[in-house]
Amino acid sequence: MKKTLFVILAVVAVASCKSQYDALLASNDADTKYAAAMDYFNNGKYKKAATLFESLAVLTSNTEKDDTVQFYWGLSNYRDRDYYTAEANFTRFITHYPMSVFTPEAAFLRIDCLYRSTYRYELDQVPTQQALAEISQYKKENPDSPRIEACDKMEADLNERLDRKALEAAKLYYKMENYKSSRIAFRNILKNDPENIYREDILYYTAMSSYKYALLSVTAKQKERYLTFVDDYLNFISEIPESSYRRELDVMYRRAQKALGKSIADDGEDISDRDLRKQKKEEEKALRRAARELEKQGE
């Protein structure tokens, strides 16, 4: 019985609150609706606050509260994590109220909405590119803003996604063992974006792609393709000599040299097998001459 009574009272209370809120929405009393909207906002009920501010906007149009209502409408949506609607709110706000005290905050929150609406690197990066363009524009227009550091962090994060997206796309060719295409893809990344933060990985996969492409080629084309790997290897070690990839690439380099009919001297100089055979023959000739000279002296 007590439980039933409690349920009934709860339903009545909810119905009462709902009818009160509905009455506020329908009301044309701007002051009462404004106070209620602010109360909902300050108590963290952002969805209800946003709805009230939206309905209030018609009543306060062209009044001294107009920009406040419009700003808090957007801010309520922002706090409610409805970034798509909030971005539209703030875009409209900075267009219609360029001199408002809320405009600097609205301008930043707008790009923050764009940033928060982007996707993981595996997904579509068009929103990322749009957000980067808007952040860059904001920094140009507000060079002294205290929000510049926050903008820099957004840019770094978004650029990392684009860099990662490019790297992983090229690695798909590598994983499919299409090494000719993977080398082209990795080289194109650095051609289009020399500052890619994964530059070391890209140079490594470029070299490994050319090595494996040569290894799997027909004999007639291996020499030319191993020489391509050698170029990639030398480019890598000249740029990143202390890389953790160095040891693995050194092994590939020695194998490539062997495949090209060369060996590595102690000082790092390439010596062909033909030169080694020539040197050995000359040493043997010198020994035979020395032996003949000894025989003559013995006579």
The whole-number pLDDT of residue 20 equals: 87
**Contact by Cβ (8 Å): 231, 249:** no
Q: What is the pLDDT of residues 252-275, one digit of tens each?
A: 999 999 999 874 443 344 444 454
Q: Express each pLDDT in 202-237 by its tens digit.
A: 999 999 999 999 999 999 999 999 999 999 999 999
User: Measured between alpha carbons, how far is 78 from 106 in angstroms, rounded to an integer?
Assistant: 11
Long-range Cβ contact pairs of 213-217 (< 8 A, separation 24 or more): 213/179, 213/180, 213/183, 214/256, 214/259, 216/177, 216/179
Contact 180, 213 (CB under 8 A): yes
